[in-house]
Structure 1
């Protein structure tokens, strides 16, 4: 097909949610099937081309707005090592290495700058803070992972940002960002594109600039799929193409149990789409038929499509080989994921299976929330039975899942659940609440796991015990999980996309 697809996102972060993982999964699926597609990100991120390597995303699979205006969208070709950089005239300045993470630049014994080394590199420049005569940071140079100075930030004496210059590789300013106090909050108030196609353009917000950028890279054959509700307005204002779609990754109502009620309160971030920009989008893509049907009843004039938001590309060592008592939760460790309930079932499980162990793998809402979970673990006397680890990728994640006997999920609402789908690829039996939406698309009750009424902790614990303590049942459920994985295979998910392509 002649269409070009753009998957619109804010960023690819160090710690990503299911939204970013879905977009990265989709770009791999489209690339495998020779469909022209790019992930398109808004945020300035000097680490972007480093981050995407962790997820197997190529440099030419992604277009970042700032990269585009800098004219630097390619891969890393240069390593800007501090020791060999032209940044420092070695005849006048001395480099005083403090540790592997930072060095000071000194002249005649006076400290004039601090160089922070780019994370996960050896000796490559990250940020350079320049000091005034009073020791205050007067400006900061920000280096891109690809080895060039990408931005200069000018500071007020109180440490607040005054304005920023975004630079191309030659060091020429391509954008100026002005900051001012709005009430008591310092905020960017103007984005100025400098000499872009011979003209200067001014924008009040980054989202307005993003709309301009999307228009620049789109034409009538472009299909924009917006992953982020926060970018609904930016995409809705694009005029270069009419083919614009919002893809849902979560339930749409604040109370997931009320998702089928047309009068239930929507999440606030969805009100721009459904209240103001219905006519700007050709449709909405949901990961389940159930959500599509519920939204179609609520908004009968809109077009809705159902496509799974994750595909399985390969199967792994089946969990039927696992003989330990390891339970795993994989995902965001946030309050809205209800993860404290997973910890609370462990004492009951421990009574029957003393060596049960729960691994919670993900990134945390905050240090405070992690501390709260630690306190719950101590209070319940399960310190030896629960571990909390950062989110893993690649082989590190595979090592965790290959040792998992049961995958658990306690959220009160979902879009589909990439974690549960991934569990199928390892043949892992799963236990989750039967909520809107997704778990009942993935788990066939008593076949490849158990669906539990939301909040029934006793039933949740007993089902986990039943799988952990019964090798024959675990083997049967693992085999069913492997069979169920075919539903979400790359081939089957691509069939859904091909049916969607026919409607464009």
Structure 2
């Protein structure tokens, strides 16, 4: 295939949602099948090339807009250690190390700067805050993980940002970002590319700049797959290629139960696509056939395609070997995932299985929400039966899943659910609400788990108890989960993509 694929996203974060995981899963699948593809991110992120290592993504699998304009898209080649850096003239300045995370730079006993060490490194420069004579931060240098000064931020005395310069590896400015007050809020109001191909170019917003960037890296054979509804307009405005597709990761209506109703209210972030940019996209890719059919009825003039946007690359130690009473929730720990209901079933399960234990593994909506969940756990007297841990990757995640006897999910709506698909790779029986759209694609009721009517907590608890307490049933459901995993194998998902390729 001569076409190249760009998967458009905002960022790869320290804590990612299923959207980013889908893109990373997809890049591995395409790469494995020799399809030319890149993840393309918009946001400035000096940690980007550090973050992607955790997920097995190579430096040349990703193009970041700021990297592109800085001329720095390669891997790390240099370690900028504070002790050996040219940042500090050791004859004039003293480095006063406070702890492993920061040092002060002093001259004649006066503090002139604070150096924050780059996270998860030993002694490498992260940020440098420079002080004025009154002790205010006057500017901040931001270093990229790859060992060069990437940005300088100039501050007002009140701590607000005045303007920013984005720098290349040689220290030359390649972009200027101006900030001004819009009403009560300080916002970036101009992005200026400096001497880009001999010209200075101005853009009002980061998305306008992103559209320009996507045009620069695209041609008529480029296929853009937009992962983020927030970038619908930026991608829709790209003129270099007509091959633009929006990929869906969630149900499309605010009430998931009404997803098949053509009059049901769409999520607000989808209205630009369906109301304003229908003609700018060649089609929409959904993770399930059911969602494709519902959207096709609602928008008969648009093209819809169905691809399982999650692939299982390898099977793991099966859950049939697990004899403890460990249940696990894996994913975003957010209100919209309805996670409090999972906690609320534990007292009922505990009556029959006293040593039941729920591990909630994910990243939290906020510290406040985590505190609310902690309070619920205390009130229900199940402190010893519930643990909330940060999201894990690699072997750490594998360790959790390999000791999981039941995987649970209580969201009221899903696009597919990467967590449930990942559970199949471990042969874990699963219990989830029977909602649009994913769980009933993944769970065959009473075979590899249970589908529960949304909100039926009593049934949810009884099904968890049944699987935990019945070794023979658990073994049978584990075996069915392993069989079910084949549906989402890398080979089978790639067959779906190949069918999609034939339509382009």
Q: Unaligned stretches of 5+ in structure 1?
A: none
The alpha carbon displacement at 1:264 in A equals 0.3
- Measure the CA separation in 1 of the matches of 2:416 and 2:235: 24
TM-score (norm 1): 1.00
1:35 Cα deviation after fit: 0.1
The corresponding residue for 1:92 is 92
* Equivalent in the alignment of 1:189: 189
Aligned pairs, number = 504
1:283-322 deviations in Å (ceiling 9; x for gaps): 0000000000000000000000000010000000000000
Give SS of 2:271's match.
helix
State how far apart, in whole Å, the 2-side matches of 1:200 and 1:106 are: 38
Deviation at 1:349, TM superposition (A): 0.2
1:426-461 deviation digits (Å, cap 9, x = unpaired): 000000000001000000000000000000000000
Aligned residue for 1:324, secondary structure, equals: coil
C-alpha distance after superposition, 1:174-207 (max 9, x if no partner): 0000000000000000000000000000000000
**Which residue pairs with 1:14 in the alignment?**
14
Output the CA distance in 2 between the equivalents of 1:53 and 1:385.
34
- Residues 229-285 of structure 1 show CA distances to partners (whole Å, capped at 9, x for unaligned) of 000000000000000000000000000000000000000000000000000000000
Q: In structure 1, what is the Cα distance between the partners aligned to 2:62 and 2:458?
A: 46
Alignment partners' CA distance in 1, 2:244 and 2:397: 34
Specify every segment of 5 or more residues in structure 2 that has no aligned partner in the other structure, as ranges. none
Distance in 2 of aligned mates of 1:207 and 1:312: 34
CA distance in 2, matches of 1:400, 1:386: 14
1:217 matched residue in structure 2: 217
The equivalences for 1:7-86 within 5 A come to 7-86=7-86
Post-superposition shift, 1:85? 0.1
Give distance in 1, aligned partners of 2:183 and 2:416.
41
Q: What secondary structure does 2:317 align onto?
A: coil
State the 1:158 CA deviation: 0.2
Q: In 2, Cα distance between the equivalents of 1:395 and 1:45?
A: 26
Q: Tell me how far apart the structure 2 counterparts of residues 136 and 383 of structure 1 sit (CA, whole Å).
A: 45
Partners of 1:493 and 1:317 in 2: how far apart? 22
* Secondary structure in 1 matching 2:29: helix
Aligned partners of 2:152 and 2:414: how far apart in 1?
Answer: 41
Rounded Cα–Cα distance in structure 2 between residues aligned with 1:404 and 1:69: 46
- 5 Å-filtered alignment, 1:70-469, equals 70-469=70-469
Classify the secondary structure of the residue corresponding to 2:192. strand
Task: Report SS of the residue matched to 1:86.
Answer: coil
CA positional deviation for 1:77: 0.2
Matched residue SS, 1:127: strand
Equivalent residue of 1:354, what SS? coil
Distance 1:258 1:464 in 2: 27
CA distance, structure 1, for counterparts of residue 194 and residue 273 of structure 2: 32
Equivalent position SS for 2:384: coil
Q: Deviation digits for residues 90-143 of structure 1, max 9, x if unmatched?
A: 000000000000000000000000000000000000000000000000000000
Q: Distance in 1 between the 2:35 and 2:259 partners? A: 34
Deviation at 1:425, TM superposition (A): 0.1
SS state of the match for residue 309, structure 2? Answer: coil
CA distances 1:453-491 after superposition (whole Å, capped 9, x unpaired): 000000000000000000000000000000000000000
Task: Find the residue that maps to 1:502 and give its secondary structure.
Answer: helix
- Structure 2 CA distance for aligned equivalents of residues 474 and 200 of structure 1: 65
1:481 aligns with 2:481: yes
Q: CA separation in 1, counterparts of 2:364 and 2:479?
A: 33
Q: Secondary structure at the match of 1:384?
A: helix
Shift of 1:151: 0.0
Aligned equivalents of 1:418, 1:209: Cα separation in 2: 32
CA drift of 1:213 comes to 0.1
Deviation at 1:150, TM superposition (A): 0.0
CA offset at residue 371 of structure 1?
0.2
Partners of 1:246 and 1:63 lie apart in 2 by 19
> Counterparts of 1:195 and 1:347 in 2: how far apart (Å)?
65
TM-score by structure 2 length?
1.00
Give the RMSD, CA atoms, in angstroms. Answer: 0.2
* Separation of aligned partners in 1, 2:289 and 2:378: 42
Alignment partners' CA distance in 2, 1:200 and 1:254: 43
Q: Structure 1: how far apart are the matches of 2:478 and 2:77?
A: 46
CA distance in 1, matches of 2:488, 2:499: 16
> Distance in 2 between the 1:242 and 1:413 partners?
32
CA distance in structure 2 between the aligned counterparts of 1:15 and 1:290, rounded to whole angstroms: 29
Task: Tell me, in whole angstroms, the C-alpha distance in 1 between the residues paired with 2:306 and 2:447.
Answer: 25
